[in-house]
C-alpha cells in the first residue's frame, strides 16, 4: 500500500511543487478529483512547514479512519505523527483549553453541534492560540460553519 501513493518531493510535477511551496501565510484551497494527490500534497506541505520552522501546525481529517491511514505514512515525513488528528479531537482539545465542556460521543450529532458551538464561542471570546498552519484534508466533508471556525 505504501508504494501506491507516498510521494517524494522530487517526484512532483511543477504544478504540484507550486502547491507545496505556496506562500506560508494565508488560506489556500487545493481542488482536484479523487486520487489526484491532494492528500499527499497536504502531507508534503506539512513537511515543508516543518522544514521552514513553522512547526506549530496540525493536520485535520474529518474521520478516524483517514487519520489512522495518514499516520501509517508519517514515517515518510519529518514531522511527528501526533500532528495528524481528527477534527473532533482537535475541537475537543480547543474546547478543553478554553475551559468549555467537552462532549462525549463525538460521533453523535448533538456532540458535533456542541463542539461547533464551543469553537464559535472561542472565536467570539478572542480566538484560538494561533497556529502557524492548519492543514485540512477532505474539506468537502465539513460543514461551512466548521470551516469558518477552523479558519478563525
Q: Model confidence over 60-108: pLDDT tens digits?
A: 999 999 999 888 887 788 899 999 999 999 999 999 999 999 998 877 8
Q: What whole-number distance in Å separates Cα of residue 82 and Cα of residue 133?
A: 15
Neighbours of 84 (CB within 10 A): 25
Residue among 19, 75, 52 nearest 132 (CA): 52
* Position 1 confidence tier, pLDDT thresholds 50, 70, 90: very low
Task: Report the predicted TM-score, pTM, of the whole model to 2 decimal places.
Answer: 0.87
**Which of 126, 69, 67 has the alpha carbon at shortest distance from 98?**
126
Cα–Cα distance for residue pair 80/87, rounded to 1 Å: 17
Model confidence at 5, pLDDT cuts 50, 70, 90, reads: low
Amino acid at each position: 500500500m505504501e508504494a501506491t501513493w507516498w510521494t517524494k518531493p522530487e517526484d512532483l510535477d511543477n504544478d504540484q511543487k507550486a502547491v507545496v511551496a505556496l506562500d506560508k501565510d494565508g488560506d489556500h484551497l487545493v481542488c482536484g478529483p479523487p486520487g489526484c494527490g491532494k492528500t499527499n500534497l497536504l502531507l508534503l506541505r506539512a513537511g515543508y512547514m516543518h522544514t521552514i520552522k513553522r512547526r506549530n501546525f496540525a493536520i485535520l481529517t474529518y474521520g478516524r479512519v483517514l487519520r489512522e491511514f495518514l499516520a501509517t505514512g508519517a514515517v515518510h515525513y519529518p514531522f511527528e505523527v501526533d500532528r495528524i488528528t481528527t477534527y473532533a479531537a482537535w475541537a475537543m482539545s480547543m474546547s478543553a483549553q478554553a475551559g468549555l465542556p467537552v462532549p462525549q460521543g463525538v460521533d453523535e450529532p448533538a456532540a458535533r453541534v456542541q463542539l461547533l458551538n464551543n469553537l464559535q464561542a472561542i472565536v467570539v471570546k478572542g480566538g484560538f492560540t494561533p497556529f502557524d498552519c492548519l492543514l485540512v484534508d477532505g474539506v468537502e466533508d465539513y460543514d461551512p460553519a466548521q470551516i469558518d471556525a477552523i479558519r478563525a
